Structure 1
Amino acid sequence: MARRRRYELTDEQFERIEDALPEVDGRGRPYEDHRKVVNGIFRADGSGAPWRDLPERYGSW
């Protein structure tokens, strides 16, 4: 079993919100992986760190 990282959603938690997230419709800039972004938001909010100081796994600030 994989170790859960602090501030990150479990598979079960992500499945519960996945349908509420927007789908790619071909307009504008392509979305990043939603799970990566949501986890980054939780990490920034929970730790108080600015997005640019988060690890690369949360995407480009």
Structure 2
Amino acid sequence: MINGMLFKAKTGVAWRDLPERYGPWKTVYNRFWRWSRNGTLTMLVCRARVIAEAIDELDREVSVDSSIVRAHQHAAGARRQATGHTGGQRRRRSD
């Protein structure tokens, strides 16, 4: 169960694409959701950190690959093309 959660966190796959060896994806998801809401995950991570620090095995290196960290084009300020469709905009009424 925990390995399934770690696999999801490491790879970023969709819950439905979780390999069968971790059990039913819905079970892993439900337990992850419940544990994250009730503090169990936080407690497990804290205990693992304490053990890793005690045996000097804690690696605090973080890396972000900027080639995959992108904003959507509209969030990045891209201009919209005029398509003739007003979308959610109101049209002016001519009185």
TM range (shorter): 0.3 to 0.5
| TM-score when normalising by structure 2 | 0.25
Larger Rg: 2
TM-score calculated relative to the size of structure 1: 0.38
Greater relative contact order: 1 or 2 (C-alpha under 8 angstroms, separation 6 or more)? 1
